[in-house]
Structure 1
């Protein structure tokens, strides 16, 4: 049965909303494909919202969410963009997760953060599709977040687009901030990335492109948290949970699952923004 692809997007710094890049171009292309295939809605897990408690996640149920301000980006890039919270799908997601034993709760006060609406603006500049945001869990257990993706994976067959937005290499403590703070240049590379960042970035690519989906992908993505360079590449665990979510959302069968590294940008010397897509839209397959 045909199903939608899954995206693991590295959203990078806030300046990825304001500056043109290979990633921004790819995000727009992915959005165009989603619209061409009559997307029903978007279900996202970001990297800036987590719920406390064992086994708990929250689901955005605020009918009129505000946007958290975005640093180093002119307000004209995002202030007037109208968000489109999908409360019906949010209710469905909560019920689906609860049926599988997850403590899922609706959150009616959550305001959206740049990790999710940055991607939505870039993908769908002419209007936000119905969107549901699922939080992380504050314990940052990779197996748990892969399980959330697995539970929601069947929604791909209903034409929902599942997106995890975090980071392939995202350690704010290791970034070089001077060029951005002084010259507003987030893409400056006055020196090469550290070896540890290059090593982990390559491992992320190998895991996604060689496994493609199924149990092998889930095992490989989770195992990356034991990589010798993981803590160099991720000073905190939050931006890697989206990768675990995506690995689960790819489902149990990798046989017909294409995997591509669609674009990549290095920011702030040591931040690698890799953009992965697993699977293809039905119309995309038919056109080939």
Structure 2
């Protein structure tokens, strides 16, 4: 695996652990505030099924915004590009992920991209199913198949905590409903969205997701095309341009791989059709990205020549 040995990876994890003291865990979702800010873990997997991991790689955490990549893939498979991008744009933004300003100033209030909250809510609204239970069952089955982990589920505690405090997301939904971007009952949409964000994984699961996207949707172990290559290409492009919130440009320069972060501290990474990377470090910077995780990726990208640029 590009000469990355476990002892070296353990050494790098300890090297960046000090960065955990410089950030803060997310508190706007109360259930996330109980995370151990000193956790930092990583898993890397390649197409030959060589898995290397270090630190707190087995600790469970919720996907949060990383789920936006998975729901985008599922919505594209359900509805097709024309339908999805008729309602959600393709442009990055310098605004925070939960900002409402572009909905108010763009016409006709179309979210700029699927990686900000407004766009993700619109995409989640596109997932096919007769009920939230059916939609969630489809999404969980999708994640379980990608990770080859049938035990994956979601945290009721985090989902409920997020649902009860989702006032800004409610505002985004109602604004988009007024402008016919989303349809149906807003509370039902938020119920599904918060459960989607509360899906629990560890770094090993996340690395498997990263490898599948890196490898164009093809699972090299089971020799199956799980996601169409074109869908993964679109998702990875959004990960490059919008995946690290309004820190995506700096991340592209310093690390240079398609990646998506979440406010629970996860980072999903895809490396040059070769590797999947899963990172967990809940101490966040001001933009909502894992401080130690970002530094770890920066070091590895420089050492291993991961950048796609």
TM-score by length of 2: 0.33
Greater strand proportion: 1
How does the TM-score come out when normalised to structure 1? 0.35
Looking at both structures, which has the greater relative contact order when contacts are Cα pairs under 8 Å and sequence separation is at least 6? 1
